[in-house]
Amino acid sequence: MSGKILMLGNAAVARGAYEAGAAFVSSYPGTPSTEITECAADYPELYAEWAPNEKVAAETAIGASVAGARAMTCMKHVGLNVAADPVFTASYTGVNGGLALVVADDPGMHSSQNEQDSRNYARSAKLPMLEPADSAECKSFTKLAFELSERFDTPVLLRLSTRVSHSQSLVELGERESVERKAYKKDPMKYVMMPGMAKLRHLVVEKRVTDTMAYAEGADINRIEYHDKSVGIIAAGIAHAYAREALGERASYLKLGMVWPLPELLIREFAANVGELWIIEELDPFIEREVRAMGIAARGKTDFSPCGEYTSEEIRAVVLGEPAVCADPPENIPGRPPVMCAGCPHRGVFNVLSRMRLTVLGDIGCYTLGALPPLNALDTCLCMGGSVSMAHGMEKAAGRDFSKKAVAVIGDSTFLHSGITGLIDIVYNKGASTIIILDNSITGMTGHQQNPATGLTLRNEPTRKLDLEALVRAVGVDRVTVVDPFDDGATAAAIKAELDADEPSVIIARRPCALLKGVRYTGKCVITEDCRDCGACVRSGCPAISRRSGRPRIDPAQCVGCDYCRGLCKFGAIGRVE
């Protein structure tokens, strides 16, 4: 295995873009896709940036492609919902420089709010989609995506899934291809999508679907591997890896590297040569439906669930009837849900909201953890930006008395992603909602990415820092307050005052994430003899505070010394050791 290195799938996608001579990457973070863009930023030859959201990222990548550069944008599955508008029409315009759209699905929802299958987008937007199974393919398929994009004049989708993105396997590194930026030529018939032009382009799109289908028939990334022919497996990506491990040479395989369009002739040939045909795919029966539409009988979602991930052990059990032997899992094992970190500034706001028993429209970020015990503070969590607009809708439907007891909470990155448009709606349509921006000076949830409000770029270069107060004032919010969420009294007072005000208000709860490098809390908090066991500190949900032998106790290994709990204790029973 010499010459090969262990590489994360995401790092291998970045490497593929680098080797393909790509010049431009713009993305918005989202697990499990985030590291692609972070790794791309490590190559000085590539321009890489964080955009405020996926739509902007996709549009900038399209712009770079039209300018003639090989360009890429990366997102998680739900990010493609946000980017769908430009993507569907870029399918019509086609490209100039190669354009790779990378989308990472999350079967099993390790870190997502839904489990949608992005292959459906390939079919709807009529775009070719490749799906790698390991890091080596992540690299080679990314390179192929750029080639196909230029050859067929189309954006190309690359579909990943959590286990491909976040698994390390061996990759052999190659050289960077030197690719000149193509000249940009004005071409309104191709790039100005008004009905007159778009009607003509639609014909081009349909022809391209036929052309890419013909390509798929002969592409070596779609390959048949015959062993025992009594069982035939059609699978792509990670599902193929699971099936291959589960069944070894006891089955034959059609491994699809391209999941859209599908190679009908190849599928027919394979089906004709094997006994029982199985389609092994996580999430939707996407391939299975197409295969059945060809009039070919196949098993798949007949026996497997459309929910969650597969494993090799499950496939062996279902296809071969050989269930794994395993211990009976002991019952009543307490769960271990993720928690807000010790020192997390979000805790301050949620502790107040939980005490005030407000209706809290939540959003997506670390602060979504405020939904869990003991804070139990959130009523909703839908999509990025949804908190602000939902608060407005609820006020209009349920009335002002209702909205006097409701707030929306949204992180700094999420607010800039798509909360600002909801706020404009509130002002424009004379709402009076109270919005709390939880400004921890970073995009936390996805692992600390910079955003426009942090004043640093993806490469940590200083840039013009977006002024949140000025922004919300500019859209017409006159009541803007900034509080320190660890100042319990001030936070509670601000929320009360703004709920009572009959106009829109924004409270910015500002304190940096405790995990940021610049944040240096020192010492530890300790509970003293004066403790009356009122439980106020325990109810704040700090993971350093537990109640192992009756009375609350602070675990020095977990305490970061943020002092938040000291402010909550009415009896002054929490001291410090330096």
- Counting every residue, how long is the chain? 578
Choose which of 383, 538, 560, 568 interacts with another protein (CB under 8 A).
538
Q: How far is CA 6 from the centre of its chain?
A: 24
Asked if 134 touches another protein (CB under 8 A), the answer is yes
Q: Give yes or no for a contact between 231 and 274, defined as CB atoms under 8 angstroms apart.
A: yes
Positive or negative, the Cα torsion across 310, 316, 321, 324?
negative
Taking the least distance from each CB to another protein, the nearer of 169 and 387 is 169
Cα separation, 106 vs 7, in Å, equals 20
Taking CB under 6 A as the binding criterion, the range among 178-186, 286-294, 407-415, 495-503 that sits at the site for ligand TPP is 407-415
Residues forming a β-bridge with 456: 462
Tokens of 558: 């977990």
Cα separation, 296 vs 293, in Å, equals 7
Taking the least distance from each CB to another protein, the nearer of 44 and 334 is 334
Convert residues 5-44 into a mask of x (bound to ligand TPP by CB under 6 A) and - (unbound): -----------------------xxx--------------
H, E, C per residue of 279-291: EECCCCCHHHHHH
Sheet holding 252-256, edge to edge: 223-225, 252-256, 231-236, 276-280
Contact of residue 412 among ligand TPP, another protein, none (CB under 5-8 Å per partner type): ligand TPP
SS3 for 349? helix
Taking the least distance from each CB to ligand TPP, the nearer of 143 and 347 is 347
Residues forming a β-bridge with 482: 508
| Binding residues among 227-246 for another protein as defined by CB under 8 A | 238, 241-242, 244-246
Asked if 61 touches ligand TPP (CB under 6 A), the answer is no
Is cis: bond before 261, omega within 30 of 0? yes
SS3 for 135? helix
Least distance between ligand TPP and beta carbon 28 (Å) = 6
Distances, alpha carbon 25 to alpha carbons 2, 16, 46, 129, 137, in Å = 31, 12, 7, 19, 20
| Binding residues among 316-375 for another protein as defined by CB under 8 A | 324-330, 332-341, 366, 369, 372-374
Asked if 442 touches ligand TPP (CB under 6 A), the answer is yes
Contact of residue 242 among another protein, ligand TPP, none (CB under 5-8 Å per partner type): another protein
Amino acid at 556: P
Contact of residue 367 among ligand TPP, another protein, none (CB under 5-8 Å per partner type): ligand TPP
Helix 386-398 vs helix 420-428: crossing angle, to nearest 10:
30
The conformation of residue 419, written as its DSSP 8-state character, comes to: I
Asked if 447 touches another protein (CB under 8 A), the answer is yes
Residue 255: closest CA among 284, 289, 226: 226
Taking the least distance from each CB to ligand TPP, the nearer of 119 and 417 is 417
Asked if 557 touches another protein (CB under 8 A), the answer is yes
Asked if 452 touches ligand TPP (CB under 6 A), the answer is no
Taking the least distance from each CB to ligand TPP, the nearer of 274 and 364 is 364
Tokens of 75: 């997102």
Asked if 311 touches another protein (CB under 8 A), the answer is yes
Taking the least distance from each CB to ligand TPP, the nearer of 222 and 413 is 413
Residues forming a β-bridge with 359: 406
Asked if 384 touches ligand TPP (CB under 6 A), the answer is yes
Asked if 131 touches another protein (CB under 8 A), the answer is no
| Binding residues among 361-380 for ligand TPP as defined by CB under 6 A | 364-367
| Backbone phi, psi, residue 67, to 5° | -70, -10
Tracing tokens 């508008």 back to the chain, one arrives at 85
Least distance between another protein and beta carbon 303 (Å) = 16
User: Residues interacting with ligand TPP, by CB under 6 A?
Assistant: 28-30, 54, 76, 78-79, 82, 364-367, 384, 411-414, 438, 440, 442-446
**Residues of the shown chain interacting with another protein in the complex, contacts defined by CB under 8 A:** 1, 6, 8, 31-32, 34-35, 110-111, 134, 162-163, 166-170, 238, 241-242, 244-246, 248, 309, 311-314, 324-330, 332-341, 366, 369, 372-374, 445-447, 538-539, 541, 543, 545-548, 557-558
